[in-house]
Amino acid sequence: MIFTEADMGAIYLTLRLATTVTLLLLLIGTPIAWWLARTKSWWKGPVGAIVALPLVLPPTVLGFYLLLAMGPNGVIGQFTQSLGLGTLPFTFWGLVIGSIFYSMPFVVQPIQNAIEAIGERPLEAAATLRAGPWDTFFTVVLPLAKPGFITAAILGFAHTVGEFGVVLMIGGNIPGETRVVSVQIYDHVEALEYAQAHALAAGMVVFSFIVLLGLYGFQRKQASLGMKYGG
């Protein structure tokens, strides 16, 4: 067995984190993407920019501010304490929140592009066929934007698996709670356990390659079907 028990724990934790974050992001990101795709409001620019910020900011910056916000005196911290949940830094759910911000653009943008590509016409056609807004969303928007949602889910998942800086800032290094694969690799290197670091690092390379290969294959297939897609 090339992976130690601690490695396996880190892998399991990483997958659990990425799955949780992806599901939550699809729920949160879809309305944001919908709004960004359809609004004519002045706020589209600023909101779009905020969503895209993690693309350019060092993860440490994001992690630093989240750490402050989730701390005992921060806005989020005050709120979670008032609910009797304590504070979130150095917990699994703290990581989830950090990752949601960090991976947001990778989920929102493909969905937004897919919804924009649908255009007004199918939505108007649905309205003239007595479909209300929710009905239209589930019967027209979701099927037509499906490739965008799949791209979003894959990118959101893969990007969360690959995060490091934010985790280190707000999660630290607690086995089974916040020690994800990228942190575990860091620990191995610090401890000069290069063989262990290699095993995990190479695993990440293979995982990422397969995910992207699958994504591009999927997108090419969609393109050849003549369907519009985002991402």
Partner 1 sequence: MTNTLTNALTDNTIAASFRLAYPGDKADGFSLDVDVTVPGNGITAIFGHSGSGKTTFLRCVAGLETADSGELTVKGDIWQSASHCKPTHKRPLGYVFQESSLFPHLTAKANLDYAIKRSGVPFSQDLYERVLSVMAIAPVLPRYPAQLSGGERQRVAIARALLIQPKLLLMDEPLASLDSARKQEILPYLERLRASFDIPIFYVSHSMDEVAHLADHILVLEQGKLVAQGNLTEVLSRIDLPLKFGEETGVIITGEVAERDNQWHLVRIAFDGGELWVRDGGDALKQSVRVRVLARDVSLALASHDDTSIVNRLAVEVVEISQDQDEAMALVRLKCGAEYFIARLTQKSVHQLQLEPGKHAWAQIKSVAVVR
Stretch that binds partner 1, among 11-19, 80-88, 139-147, 170-178 (CB under 8 A): 139-147
Question: What is the residue-wise DSSP string for the chain?
Answer: --S-HHHHHHHHHHHHHHHHHHHHHHHHHHHHHHHHHH--STTHHHHHHHHHHHHHS-HHHHHHHHHHHHSTTSHHHHHHHHTT----TTSHHHHHHHHHHHHHHHHHHHHHHHHHHH-SHHHHHHHHTT--HHHHIIIIIHHHHHHHHHHHHHHHHHHHHT--HHHHHHT---TTTT--HHHHHHHHHHTT-HHHHHHHHHHHHHHHHHHHHHHHHHHHHHHHTT-----
**Number of C-beta neighbours around residue 217 at 10 A:** 10
- What does the per-residue mask of binding to partner 1 show for 59-98, with x meaning CB under 8 A? ----------------------------------------
* Binds partner 1 by CB under 8 A, chosen from 85, 138, 139, 194: 139
* Binds partner 1 by CB under 8 A, chosen from 5, 128, 190, 192: 128
Q: Which is nearer to partner 1, 13 or 126 (CB)?
A: 126
Q: CA–CA separation, 111 vs 114, rounded Å?
A: 5
Structure tokens at 216: 């591009």
- What does the per-residue mask of binding to partner 1 show for 143-172, with x meaning CB under 8 A? xx----------------------------
Q: Which is nearer to partner 1, 123 or 180 (CB)?
A: 123
CB of 131 to partner 1, least distance (A): 6
Q: Which is nearer to partner 1, 51 or 123 (CB)?
A: 123
Q: Which is nearer to partner 1, 145 or 168 (CB)?
A: 145
By the rule CB under 8 A, 116 interacts with partner 1 = no
Q: Which is nearer to partner 1, 84 or 226 (CB)?
A: 226
Q: Please report where in the chains the tokens 């989730």 appear, as a residue.
A: 70
Q: Which is nearer to partner 1, 19 or 139 (CB)?
A: 139
CB of 27 to partner 1, least distance (A): 23
Total binding residues toward partner 1, as defined by CB under 8 A: 20
Kindly list the residues in this chain that would bind partner 1 in the complex (CB under 8 A).
Answer: 121-122, 124-133, 135-136, 139-140, 143-144, 226-227
